Homo-oligomer: A and B are copies of this chain.
C-alpha cells in the first residue's frame, strides 16, 4: 500500500497528462492550464488482494482513481457479517464521498491486484473553484454512483438465488469482450447478493456442471446466452 519512492518522486502532474486511461478518469476534460492548479502530489501505488484502501468512518482527505483491478465497497452489519454495496473497476472513483467533507462510508478492499492514483481533496476543490472543466466529470461520477446503486437494488436483490447469481455473472462480464472475468470468492458472492456462502457455492457449482461456466484460477468464462435465459 505504501507508494514507492520512485513513484513519489515523479509526482503526478506530468504523469496525469500522459495517463494512458486519462479519457476514462476524473481529469478527462482538464486543459493544460488546469494542471497548474494541482499543488499537491498525486501519487500512485498498488494494492494486493485483501488489502484495505480505506476504512469506514476514517477521516477522508483523498479520492482514488482505479487504474486497473477491482475494489469492493463493504459495510459491516451489527451481527458481524458484511455486505458488499458496490464493485469498482478501471476508471472508477473510490471515496467520492470525501468531497462532502465527510468520513468514508465504506471499507474499500482490493479483490485483485489493483493500481490506484491518490488525489487530494484540496486539489479538487481548488481546481473546481478556478476552472469549469472538472464540474462535468464530477457530476458524471456522482451520477454513476446512483446508477450503480440502482442497478444493484433492481437487478441483484430480486428474484431467487439462481437468478441473482446469473445476473451477477452477467454484470461482472459486462465489460469483458472475451466473456472472461474475475470471479469473486463464494463468501463475497454471498455478500454481494445477500445470500449465504453455501447457497452461492451450490449455484456456482451447478452452473459449472451444466457447462454455463468454466473456472480457471480466479477467473471465469461464461455462456451469456444460457445465463440470460435464467434471468
- A75 B143 Cβ-Cβ under 8 A: no
Identify the interface centre among A81, A83, A128, A154: most chain B CB within 10 Å of its CB.
A154
Copies in the complex: 2
Contacting B at CB under 8 A, from A71-85, are 75, 77, 81, 83, 85
CB distance B158 to A100 under 8 Å? no
Residues A204-219 near B (CB distance < 8 A): none
Q: How far is the CB of A123 from chain B (nearest CB, A)?
A: 15
Q: How large is the interface on A (under 10, 10 to 19, 20 to 34, 35 or more residues)?
A: 20 to 34
Say yes or no for A97: interface residue by CB 8 A criterion: yes
Task: Mark contacts of A77-118 with chain B using CB atoms, 8 A cut-off: 1 yes-contact digit, 0 otherwise.
Answer: 100010101000000000011011010011000000000000
Task: Check A54 for interface membership: any CB of B closer than 8 A.
Answer: no
A14 to chain B, nearest CB (A): 29
CB neighbours (8 Å) of A150 from chain B are 75, 85, 105-106, 149
Q: How far is the CA of A157 from the CA of B75 in the complex (A)?
A: 13
Docked CA distance A51–B230 (Å): 34
Q: Indicate if A139 sits at the interface (CB-CB under 8 A).
A: yes
Which residues of chain B come closer than 8 Å to A139, judged between CB atoms? 99-100
Alpha-carbon distance between A149 and B135 when the two chains are bound, in angstroms? 23
Least CB distance, A98 to chain B, in whole angstroms: 10
A158/B83 in contact, CB under 8 A: yes
Cβ of A145 within 8 Å of any chain B Cβ, yes or no, is: yes
Q: Does A147 contact B (CB under 8 A)?
A: yes
B153–A149 CB distance below 8 A: yes
Cα of A75 to Cα of B77 in the assembled complex, Å: 26
Q: How far is the CB of A197 from chain B (nearest CB, A)?
A: 14
Residues in B neighbouring A145, C-beta threshold 8 A: 142, 145-146, 149
Q: Given the complex, which residues of B lie within 8 Å of A81, measured CB to CB? A: 158
How long is the Cα–Cα vector from A207 to B86 in the complex, in angstroms? 33
Extra A-B contacts (15), CB below 8 Å, given A77-B158, A97-B147, A105-B147: A75-B153, A83-B154, A83-B158, A85-B149, A85-B150, A99-B143, A105-B150, A129-B132, A145-B146, A145-B149, A146-B146, A146-B149, A149-B150, A152-B153, A153-B157
The 3 closest A-B pairs by CB, nearest first: A149-B149, A142-B142, A100-B143
